[in-house]
Amino acid sequence: MHPYEQYMKEISQPMRDELTEAGFNELTAPEQVDDFISTMKDTSLVVVNSVCGCAAGLARPAVRTSLQHTKKPKNLVTVFAGQDREATARMREYLVGIEPSSPSMALMKDGKVLHFIPREEIEDHDVEEIVNNLVQSYNQHCAE
């Protein structure tokens, strides 16, 4: 592994851990994304993770907080933009009609996007607003 790649892997590990410790499965290869989408049952929250400040200070804390709600997605997965490039690109192929955005969050069911939160709805918003955005989509689409 190139020293730069090793450095980025080490520096991003805590950012990955923040989601995996909350129950997210990390998809690091395109084949994993394909397998996930083809076998998706019920609702799923897909988080496109990022090293940027709005991911650290807003997106990841909001996602973790939203999962304390009674209604929530059954499946939790994440891809890491800029790190797992091929997996992220493949996931974005399934986000039909949606411009690439990181960080971002997609509530999906049966391979279809039900609700999408792009970077523009994360950056310059507070954690509570993002949590409310997520919870509203959970209330609409998720079972208890």
Mark out the alpha helices in 21-98 (DSSP H runs).
30-39, 53-54, 60-66, 85-94
Q: Which of 8, 15, 22, 54 is catalytic?
A: 54
- State yes or no: is 142 an active-site residue: no
- State yes or no: is 54 an active-site residue: yes
Residue 25 β-bridge partners: 77
Q: Which of 48, 52, 81, 127 is catalytic?
A: 52
Q: How many degrees, rounded to 5, is the angle at CA 92 between CA 53 and CA 2?
A: 60
Cα separations in angstroms, 31 against 53, 63, 70, 88, 140: 29, 25, 32, 11, 30
Residue 123 β-bridge partners: none
Q: Which active-site residues does the annotation give?
A: 52, 54
